[in-house]
A and B are shown apart, each in its own frame.
Chain A
Amino acid sequence: MTGKSDSGTRSDDDPASGADTHWSQVAQRHYEPDGRGGLTTTIVSAIAEVEGVSPTDLKSPPLYESVDVSAIEDAFFGRDVEEASRQGVGTVEFQYTRYLVKVRSDGWIQVYEPSEAEEV
């Protein structure tokens, strides 16, 4: 298992979904809003890295079947209204195939996969 280094120190921040599932962070990206739908591409490239494939080869199912990324983009990174910038704060989590993906309003995207069941 790779990339587990930081999962142990962030228990306060662990995804809550799936009561019995332990998740390990396996990839991280920072998204720079460009207003061109780059959030989808950034999420897909993070997952592709974990899968060891090129982003264009990560195919079925489309991310859209898990989540409408444009809606997240609008909520967190939407255009400024008048002179006030939009400041949605929080995290959106969704599951894509076996992965849990967190998109934070500060632009950090984290990909988790289920870790081995821990002996209790």
Chain B
Amino acid sequence: MSDEDGAARNREEEPFATDASTRGSLPPDILDADHVYSALNHPRRRYLCYTLLEDTEWSLADLATKIAAWESDVPEHEVREDKRDAVYVSLYHAHVPKLVEEDIITFDAATETITVAEHAEQVLAALEGIGGSLDFSQETHARSEMDDREE
């Protein structure tokens, strides 16, 4: 009888014990997906990642101009200065540091240059997999450049 009690107690305790251990045994690539989703859950960060397909190194100023052009649906030379500055500020203070933290890009503060980092490839692969339909209205520009590349 006491054996049975012991077994029952062990079973009851199991749910509490497995929580941490299951999490630890997940394959690393699934855990890595967290980085991808967290990196891409803002349209400006997705735009930024699309630009990395075109070039692996960007000045922050050029990047701000390009993203502002996409967002305003105008050619780069028609981007208004206040719009470009607003994008620049949000890249500098929010989106670039976030992508640096996720190891997707590096940022040289002295030259304000962005380059691809370790996890960039994984993120770009995910972007290609997402497809245009999910983000159609916002990201036709970025997608069309990506698709042009593939032809």
Contact = CB atoms under 8 A, between A and B. Distances in A.
Interface of A: 35-38, 40-41, 44-45, 54-56, 58-60, 62-65, 68-70
A46 to B, nearest CB: 11
B86 A41 contact: yes
A62 B93 contact: yes
B58 interface: no
B109 A40 contact: no
Interface residues of B, number: 19
Given A36-B43, A70-B42, A55 B85 contact: yes
Nearest to A43: B93
A44 B86 CA distance: 10
Contact of B96 (A45, A54, A62, A70): A62
B44 A64 contact: no
- Give me the 7 closest cross-chain CB pairs, A-B, nearest first: A64-B97, A63-B93, A40-B94, A40-B90, A37-B90, A62-B97, A41-B86
B71 interface: yes
Interface of B: 41-44, 71, 85-86, 88-90, 92-98, 101, 109
Contact of A64 (B71, B86, B94, B109): B94
A38 B86 CA distance: 7
A70 B101 CA distance: 15
